Amino acid sequence: MESKHGDNWGWMLAVDFFFAGMGGAAVATAGILDFAGLGLTSAAAGFAGAVCIGIGALLLILELGKPLRAWRVFTNPKAVLTFGAWNMTLAAGLGFAFGTFALPFAPWAGVIALKKIVAGLGVITGLIVAAYPGVLLARHKARPFWHGPGIIALFLTSSLVTGLSLHLLCHALLPAANPVLMGPLSIAAVILLALQLVFWLGYILVKRSAGTEYEAAAAERLVSGDLAAGFLAYLAGGTLLPLLLIGQASPVLTALGALLTVGGGALMRLLTIKAGEYRTWLPGEQSFRARLARGDEAFMTAWAQ
Amino acid sequence: MAHYAMVIDTRKCIGCQSCTVACRIQNDLATELIYNPVVTVGPKGIFPNVFMRHVPLLCMHCANTPCVDACPTKASQQREDGIVWVEQEKCVGCKACIMSCPYGARASHDGVVWKCTFCKDRVDEGEKPHCVNTCHQKARFFGDMEDPESEVFQLVNSNNADCLLNELNTQPSVYYI
């Protein structure tokens, strides 16, 4: 029986979701831009997605109770986590491989057919990585805030917009390969930010009004509870403000908007994981858990011995 | 093949926690682990129409197992007789099963996940779980749900046996009367 409220996923998993989603979307975006004939936003952008996925994977491993056994997460093909782990590995590898095509000294840099194959596979695996945290959470039947397909749309939108923002940041901060790209990328980011705002408002509205009492209570934490300040900061600073900044004529403002979007994406994951930590209570369970003594386990163990 | 199930008669349970203690001692559980708490619903209502019931909770050994499906390492497993257990040597402590269990029946300790196993080693020897044996109110029944001769079969198929969170379609093997 769950004996302490600490038995929840921690911040490292939330940050893993953030980096993996952003990285997966960045890899997918790089592939889509290549197919569209627009090229890389910068030489570094091709690698950025792979690096982000790698950071996410590292955090996922550190979150495990037994990090040295991490290889075992690849062994159950029926589990969503395993599916996600394989796709993260493939997307990171493909993102890295795709980035090497921008290196002039790479012998395969001119092999267009190979580049298209890598880009195509990168798009598929990258989009899966962008969406999979949402799929993972949506399957939790007894976690009122997560359950249902709506959360997939929230995670996919956030991953895509943070992935685009990563490209915009690379474009702004590093030597650009194709300056024409800023316009289309900014427009896409603005559309996704607007969608993100609408999806979140709709999600909260549905959870509060059309769901169970537990769903309403979970959503209430974001509206007026302990997570309200963070949620307001996410909506205002991580969505609305970037919506106004990205697409401005000034590259500095666009880069600032992209930076805020990325920060907002991380905050969104932390809030979502936190909002889902309460299960649907069983009859009488809530008062039982409230009465459990906590924090004395080490003393009690020593005393019993 | 047998399918083991437990029936708990909440009309008989007096909330003494003997099963909780027996489980913890016999299974030598760590201090922070409780496989088998007894929670209390109520008292509710206004005298003389008051109501109170004790509900022992444990792993429901669901037929449709969200925990086994969620486990990326195959550490969470279900035997053919329906018993769900964790092979700790394979567990990486990702907590995917803890998060997916609707009944809060799992906990992490020492980096891996722990849960009620229906005392599977005792069951394999023809014995009943410790919680069943220790219940002096005879509120717990354990046996093969597929055997029409068993007491459990008859109780499960009685009109007043019900499961917790039926709406989630997990098909628990623990029934309450």
Residue A248 is part of a domain; what is its CATH number? 1.20.1630.10
Q: How far off is chain A from B39, nearest CA to CA, in Å?
A: 5
Tell me whether residues B74 and A75 touch, CB distance under 8 A. Answer: yes
Interface-testing mutation among B99, B131, B165, with chain A (most A C-beta atoms within 10 A): B99
Q: Is residue A289 part of a domain?
A: no
Tell me whether residues B98 and A139 touch, CB distance under 8 A. Answer: no
A42 falls in which pLDDT band (50, 70, 90)? low
**How many other C-beta atoms lie within 10 A of the C-beta of residue A223?**
15
Q: Is residue A124 part of a domain?
A: yes
Tell me whether residues A3 and B165 touch, CB distance under 8 A. Answer: no
Per-domain residue ranges for chain B? 4-176
Question: What is the predicted pLDDT for the residue at A3?
Answer: 38
Q: Is residue A99 part of a domain?
A: yes
Q: How far is CA A284 from CA A97, B24, B54, B102, in A?
A: 55, 21, 8, 15
Q: Which domain holds residue A204?
A: 11-281
Q: Is residue A155 part of a domain?
A: yes
User: Comparing C-alpha atoms, which of A281, A277, A293, A290 is closest to residue B32?
Assistant: A293
Q: Is residue A2 part of a domain?
A: no
Q: Is residue A287 part of a domain?
A: no
Question: What is the predicted pLDDT for the residue at A176?
Answer: 62
How many CB contacts within 8 angstroms connect chain A with chain B?
141
Q: Mean pLDDT throughout A57-62?
A: 92
Q: Mean pLDDT throughout A205-219?
A: 88
Q: Are A26 and A45 in contact (CB under 8 A)?
A: yes
Q: Is residue A156 part of a domain?
A: yes
Give dist(CA A115, CA A107) in Å, integer. 12
ipTM above threshold 0.90: no
Q: Mean pLDDT throughout A160-183?
A: 82
Q: Report chain A residues whose CB lies below 8 A from the CB of B111.
A: 64-66
- For residue A92, pLDDT over 90 is answered with yes
Higher pLDDT, A90 or B167: A90
Beta bridge partners of B84: B78
Q: How many separate domains does chain A show? A: 1
pLDDT in tens, A102-149: 888 888 888 889 989 999 999 999 999 999 999 999 999 889 999 999
- Taking the domain B4-176, which CATH number applies? 3.30.70.20
Higher pLDDT, A181 or B126: B126
Of A2, A66, A283, nearest to B107 by CB-CB distance is A2
Q: Report chain A residues whose CB lies below 8 A from the CB of B174.
A: none
Q: How far off is chain B from A287, nearest CA to CA, in Å?
A: 8
Q: Is residue A6 part of a domain?
A: no
Q: Are A177 and A43 in contact (CB under 8 A)?
A: yes
Q: Which tokens is A184 given?
A: 């289309």
Average pLDDT taken over every residue of chain B: 93
